[in-house]
Amino acid sequence: MTDPVREQYELYPYPPRDPRDEAKRLIQGSPSHILEINHYVFGGRRDFSQPFRALIAGGGTGDGAIMVAQQLQDRRCPAEIVYLDLSEPSREIAEARATARGLQNMRFLTGSLLELPAMGLGEFDYIDCCGVLHHLIDPAAGLAALRGLLNESGGIGHMVYGTYGRTGVYHLQKALRLLGREDAPPAKLDLARRLLKQLPPTNWLQRNPFVGDHLKAGDAGIYDLLLHATDRAYTVGELVDFIESAGLSISALIEPWRYELANLISDGALLKRLDALDRWQRAEIAELIAGNMKTHTAYVVPRSRLAAAVAQLDDGSMIPVLKDSSGPELAKGLKPGGSLTARADGIEVRLPLPRLAPPILAAIDGQRSIHGIFARIATELGLSRDAFDREFAVLFRAFNSVNKMFLQHRAAPMA
């Protein structure tokens, strides 16, 4: 990274976090939620009772590092989480958050991810690189550095900016560079605040409701959004090409429903044309039509093991698990043949659920396999296995597409 980037994050650690808030909540998100990692990187078959090494490359103030460290500690996994960031103030905040939680599985380092090949850290089962590569002058060099440390059986959780959802950001970035290229950071920040107050209603950022860091993340948010020295965005197609250039492949884009064009259009003639498109062509058109994707979150694995990376429904020994939800509680408020509502930045779609969604959900407890769920409800409902499999597939795809249901081979620890 360049010196201006280091200077920015030392003056304005991002995102702004207060370690005292750890007593109130654990910030969770994507990438790097442990259920997502298992489902999209390890085919649902990772045994977290075995040693696990994770690198958080560009950890910032610690959101991803703290989340994965806490989740692994809760599972009593013998894990080592290596946090790396070039900003010492950011590292200090992340360390204070880990201390507040009593996390014992973290190691903190200061430096750039471009320095990783010389650090002698060994290989990692999983690497989190969230919001970092798009801030490098040479993103390909950064991805190559990560690829060199990735265990062949592992994967990467990755986030970059999306081009169309950030409409207006780069207009203002350029305007601010022209106005105050040589100013010191505090003067640049003052300039940005003044300009934001003067924007006419026709300004593209003013008209973009999907970007809000400059409104709700304080000085660090304004600087990160509008004054960053190195910043680029990717379309879906550009991201796929970027990942493939390193011998890697994308196993999933999060949340999946947003990238499936059939969720955004209903015209029969248009839907027929989807059959001629591959997965990424559909995703590319969905991005163009939606216009609101300001980031892209992807799980990435070595190309040679893409086919085995994602957990599969056809294995009845897999256990469905819900994120932040209870199957029985969801079942209580659900009518047979209802729908699941998905919302994101101004778009709302209804994903159809099967007739037997309530009894299937009521049987999902994080311990019972797909086989076990069928056995529990089949006799009472007079259900054939083929009929159950069809119903379960519709249910799973709906909840998985909104990032709420995953598959794993081992039962979750009992509370």
Quick one: 382 and 399 in the same domain?
yes
Quick one: 288 and 327 in the same domain?
no
Determine, yes or no, domain membership for 314. no
**Which of 256, 284, 309 lies at the terminal end of a domain, its last residue?**
309
SS3 111: coil
**Inter-residue contact 4 to 50 (CB < 8 Å):** no
**Which of 309, 335, 367 lies at the terminal end of a domain, its last residue?**
309
SS3 119: coil
Give pLDDT, residue 415: 40
Sign of CA dihedral 297, 134, 173, 290: negative
| Cβ burial, residue 152 (10 Å; 0-12/13-18/19+) | exposed
Quick one: 15 and 46 in the same domain?
yes
Determine, yes or no, domain membership for 415. no
Quick one: 214 and 298 in the same domain?
no
Determine, yes or no, domain membership for 85. yes
Quick one: 77 and 141 in the same domain?
yes
Determine, yes or no, domain membership for 413. no
Task: Return the residue matching tokens 């709906």.
Answer: 398
| Cβ burial, residue 201 (10 Å; 0-12/13-18/19+) | exposed
Task: Return the residue matching tokens 């007739």.
Answer: 355
SS3 15: coil
Q: Domain holding 240: CATH number?
A: 3.40.50.150
Instruction: Domain count for the chain, please give it.
Output: 3
Q: In order along the chain (415 residues), what is the average pLDDT of each group of 10 residues? A: 84 97 97 98 97 98 98 97 98 98 98 95 98 97 98 98 98 97 94 97 97 96 97 98 98 98 95 94 98 98 97 96 94 89 96 96 96 95 96 98 96 58
Quick one: 277 and 243 in the same domain?
yes
- Angle, in degrees to the nearest 10, between helices 88-101 and 3-11: 40
In angstroms, the Cα distances linking 90 to 13, 144, 157 are: 5, 24, 20
**Which of 282, 309, 336 lies at the terminal end of a domain, its last residue?**
309
Quick one: 157 and 171 in the same domain?
no
Q: Which two tokens stand for residue 211?
A: 């970007």
Determine, yes or no, domain membership for 170. yes
Quick one: 93 and 241 in the same domain?
yes
Quick one: 270 and 178 in the same domain?
no
**Inter-residue contact 176 to 192 (CB < 8 Å):** yes
Give pLDDT, residue 181: 85
Determine, yes or no, domain membership for 414. no
Give pLDDT, residue 2: 53
Quick one: 263 and 156 in the same domain?
yes
Determine, yes or no, domain membership for 42. yes
- State the Cα–Cα distance between residues 87 and 307, nearest whole angstrom: 38
Quick one: 17 and 103 in the same domain?
yes
Give pLDDT, residue 91: 98
Quick one: 44 and 172 in the same domain?
no
Phi, psi of 85 (to 5 degrees): -155, 150
- State the Cα–Cα distance between residues 351 and 340, nearest whole angstrom: 5
Domain with 206, as residue range(s), is 166-226
